[in-house]
Structure 1
Amino acid sequence: MTSRERVLEHITKNPGITFRKLAQELEMGIGNLQYHLRHLERENKIVAKKLGGRKYIFPADFSESYKPLMIAISNESQRKILILLAEDEKNQHELAEKLNLTPSTINYHMERLEALGLVRKIKHGKNVIYQPNYDKDVLIRIIREYKPKIWDRLADKLIDLTLTFRGEEYD
């Protein structure tokens, strides 16, 4: 398999991967990777989307409607926020408290999620409520299909939580 085929295969298996993570996982030099990505883009085999100083790379045939979710779930804090919002709308204080993050950190992530079109903010006086603007079933399916390591961690946490409620330990 050629280097270019390896790059394309890795992007196909990991849609929305960042440039740096792709270079790291393939153990490929930045210049070499840039060369192959330019060719793959010219051949219309991949597309790149820039957001917040990062470049996210997708196979050309990847669904446009899934791209924002893939970008968001690649960040752990944003993934957790989306999962919490899938339960019910929340305000900044509730999110900060549940995730043990500062309000300014929540604000940063909410701005990114808003830019991706994944959340709506509704002002109630001084209070801002965030609502999900995505299909919750699609979020779960994307996590399960494209981020199996994340899905495994979520399943492990659910098992731990269930056993904790029952007073048992799991190893």
Structure 2
Amino acid sequence: MHLPTKNVASTALLCLCLAGLASYGGTRRRFGRDFKKEDILDQGTRSAIYETILKNPGLHFRRICRILDKKMGVVQYHVSVLEKNGMIRSIRDGRYKCFFAEENMENLPPEERPSEEIAALRESIITSLRRKTPQLLITHLAKETVASHQTLSNVAQVSPQAITFHTQKLQKEGIIKSEKQGRQKFYSLSEQARKITESLIRAH
């Protein structure tokens, strides 16, 4: 018995649709949130990107490409998979997007887990330490406690105007604080920023 041509075409179309849905479901499981952690890191390049970010928190996108000698499109794809599956996160630092590996805090007692505010401050300090002038300012203040505007200008070897730009940004992020004495302005690390900075310096 022969099926009418119309029914054959409809049946073929239905099969194609079902195949497409099955393929979509498989793709979504493979590239979406249905990934298992061990499966995500089975891919060599993706695993290398994750390990690089884990060992070097705060790296920006182009730096990752240079370290691994990979094309931007390749890194962008794998970074997207890692970020969508909650294995890394990113923060914006001016023109740069910086990446951090998600830390597993589940095994830590509640009192040892950093608050969101402290975690954000730590990330801001890490990204700042990856830029030349902010790094010089922060490390100098970690050693000398207090420094004048002119002293910071001399330390970083940039103009007083440039120091104003950088100190305003660092103040906005809660990393440093300032105090005016007469006509001079003095800077120091905020209490929490000092603890974090000293901890980072000891770790390296």
Interval containing the TM-score (normalised by the shorter chain): 0.7 to 0.9
Residue 146 of structure 2 is aligned to residue 104 of structure 1 = no
Give the counterpart letter for 2:153 in structure 1.
Answer: A
Q: Which residue of 2 aligns with 1:131?
A: 188
Secondary structure of 1:117's partner?
coil
For the aligned residues, what is the CA RMSD?
2.0
Residue 171 of structure 2 is aligned to residue 114 of structure 1 = yes
Give the counterpart letter for 1:80 in structure 2.
Answer: L
Secondary structure of 1:10's partner?
helix
Give the counterpart letter for 1:138 in structure 2.
Answer: I
Q: Unmatched 5+ residue regions in structure 2?
A: 1-42, 105-113
1:131 deviation in Å? 1.9
Q: TM-score when scaled to structure 1?
A: 0.76
Query: Deviation string for 1:124-169 (max 9, x for gaps)?
Result: 4543221211443531331343xx4xxxxxxxxxxxxxxxxxxxxx
Query: Deviation string for 1:89-139 (max 9, x for gaps)?
Result: 222111112332211221222122123210112234543221211443531
Count of aligned pairs between the two proteins = 146
In structure 1, what is the Cα distance between the partners aligned to 2:86 and 2:156? 40
Q: Percent identity?
A: 23
- 1:17-96 equivalences under 5 Å are 17-61=59-103, 64=119, 65-86=121-142, 87-96=144-153
Q: Which residue of 2 aligns with 1:162?
A: none
Higher relative contact order (CA 8 A, sep 6+): 1
Where do 4+ consecutive residues of structure 1 move more than 6 Å?
Answer: none
1:45 deviation in Å? 0.2
In structure 2, what is the Cα distance between the partners aligned to 1:138 and 1:3? 32
Residue 51 of structure 2 is aligned to residue 9 of structure 1 = yes
1:8 deviation in Å? 0.3
Give the counterpart letter for 1:111 in structure 2.
Answer: Q
Query: Deviation string for 1:5-35 (max 9, x for gaps)?
Result: 1100100000011111111111111111111
CA contact (8 A) 2:149 2:186 kept: yes
In structure 1, what is the Cα distance between the partners aligned to 2:93 and 2:59? 12
In structure 1, what is the Cα distance between the partners aligned to 2:201 and 2:132? 12
Q: Unmatched 5+ residue regions in structure 1?
A: 149-171
